[in-house]
Amino acid sequence: MGFKSRARKFKKTKDDDDEKNSVIVPENEVKCAIKNCKNFADKHLGGRSIGRNKVLEVWNKSEFDEIKGRVKLCKKCYRILKKETKDSKEWV
């Protein structure tokens, strides 16, 4: 008896998940501005928006896209930038 009720409960949970998945819109939609990078720069993934001058210290102008002087970087590229510039006190 205990097993049966558990199995039913499990099935219900699964159905709920399926319903959810059909409604949820993928949140990964901010592409990293570095052109040869395929990662996403969404905030919940650790992405950052960095001033173009900082990005220019690591990448060439032709290697990234900027929006109003800001460059969206994924977590990976942000770490590269931080490592390359090593003056994190100057900017956040």
Residues that bind Zn ion (CB under 5 A): 32, 34, 37, 39, 74, 77
End-to-end CA distance of the chain: 58
Nearer to Zn ion, 34 or 50 (CB): 34
Rounded to a whole number of angstroms, the minimum distance from the CB of residue 33 to Zn ion is 8
Per-residue DSSP letter, 59: S
User: Nearest CA to 33 among 14, 15, 60, 12?
Assistant: 60
Nearer to Zn ion, 32 or 50 (CB): 32
Rounded to a whole number of angstroms, the minimum distance from the CB of residue 16 to Zn ion is 35
Rounded to a whole number of angstroms, the minimum distance from the CB of residue 76 to Zn ion is 5
Other CB atoms within a 10 A radius of the CB of residue 19 amount to: 10
